[in-house]
Amino acid sequence: MNIVVREATNADAQLIADLTRAAWAGKVAASSSGHHETAQQVEEQLRHGGGFLLLIDDIPAGSLRWMPLDSDPAIWKISRMGVLPAYRGSHVSQHLLEAIIHHGLSCQAEELRLAVRRDQRKLLDFYAAFEFELAEELEYSHANPAEPAPMVMRRLLRY
């Protein structure tokens, strides 16, 4: 299995929107906005932050995006991480997380944050293995008011 993670470009926007919807189908609650992802939304996020594509044997298999916080550009918010069902269970998502951690370090980001939906608690242990810690004092800024607020995790990159 040849695994490559590469930085996304605006030309990848439609592919990333399609990957997000396909990766989240049947996995993330239907009320999540990720199920309605558009290329325009992806382009906007890529323009203000960035993203990575996961390729397995040259086939797009997953993606993630990040954006700096408006209030502090040294803090990056990771969003929309997903891997297609055919590639789950083989630990390939770790390559996406490792890519954003290394990218954050090389760009002098100070902290990475992500949100975990309350119905996806098993992800807490996965992210903890990459030194993310639950940050109960932080609130997710884009929470759906009709649902329980997600749990925010953080990883400090500068000690």
Render pLDDT for 106-122 as a digit per residue (tens, 0 to 9).
999 999 999 998 888 88
3-state DSSP assignment of residue 113? strand
Which residues fall within 8 angstroms of residue 122, CB to CB, at 6 or more apart?
A: none
Residue-wise DSSP of 11-33: GGHHHHHHHHHHHHTTTS-TTSG
What distance in Å separates the CA atoms of residue 103 and residue 109, rounded to the nearest whole number?
A: 8
Does residue 21 fall inside a structural domain?
yes
The pLDDT value given to residue 59? 97
CATH number of the domain within which 130 lies: 3.40.630.30
Is residue 146 in a domain? Answer: yes
pTM of the model: 0.90
Burial class (CB in 10 A: 0-12, 13-18, 19+), 143: middle
Indicate whether 142 belongs to any domain: yes
Domain assignment present for 159: no
Number of domains in the chain: 1
Sign of CA dihedral 123, 13, 155, 87: positive
* CA 73 from centre of chain: 17
Cβ count within 10 A of residue 100: 24
Q: Note whether residue 105 is domain-resident.
A: yes
**pLDDT tens for residues 23-81?**
888 777 666 766 678 999 999 999 999 999 999 999 999 999 999 999 999 999 999 99
Parent domain of 31: 1-154
